[in-house]
Chains A and B, each alone.
Chain A
Amino acid sequence: MDLLHLGSYTLSSRLILGTGKFSSASVMLEAVKASGAELVTVALRRFNREQPGDDLFTPLTSIPGITLMPNTSGASTAAEAVHAARIARELSGSPFIKVEIHPNPQHLMPDPIETYEASKILAKEGFLVMPYIPADPVLAKRLEEAGCVSVMPLGSAIGSGQGLATAEMLRIIIRESNIPVIVDAGLRSPSEAALAMEMGCDAVLVNSAVAVASNPPDMAEAFAEAVAAGRKAFRAGIMEKSGLAAATSPLTSFLGSEA
Chain B
Amino acid sequence: MHKMPQIITIQVNGEPFTLPGGSSVSDLLAGIGPEEKTVATVVNDSIVRPENRPAASLEEGDRVEILIFAGGG
Contact = CB atoms under 8 A, between A and B. Distances in A.
A71 B72 contact: yes
Contact of A71 (B14, B40, B42, B73): B73
B51 to A, nearest CB: 11
Nearest to B67: A44
Interface stretch (B2-10, B19-27, B28-36): B28-36
A31 B47 CA distance: 33
Interface in A138-174: 158
Contacts of B38: 55, 57-58, 91
Main secondary structure of the interface of A (DSSP, over half): mixed
A3 to B, nearest CB: 24
B68 A55 contact: yes
B26 to A, nearest CB: 15
Nearest to B38: A57
Contact of A52 (B13, B34, B45): B34
Nearest to B45: A83
B67 A43 contact: no
A59 to B, nearest CB: 10
Contacts of B32: 47, 49
A91 B72 contact: no
Main secondary structure of the interface of B (DSSP, over half): mixed
A89 B38 CA distance: 12
A41 B72 CA distance: 6
A98 to B, nearest CB: 9
A87 B47 contact: yes
Nearest to A55: B68
A109 B65 CA distance: 28
Contacts of A205: 73
A56 B71 CA distance: 7
Most buried by A among B32, B34, B68: B68
B39 interface: yes
Most buried by A among B35, B66, B71: B71
A47 B39 contact: yes
A151 to B, nearest CB: 17
Nearest to A22: B71
Contact of A87 (B34, B37, B42): B42
A82 B19 CA distance: 31
Interface string B35-59: 1011110100101010000000000
Nearest to B50: A90
B67 A87 contact: yes
Contacts of A41: 72-73
Contact of B71 (A21, A46, A86, A158): A21
B40 A44 contact: yes
A45 B70 contact: yes
A19 B71 contact: yes
Contact of A54 (B13, B33, B42, B70): B70
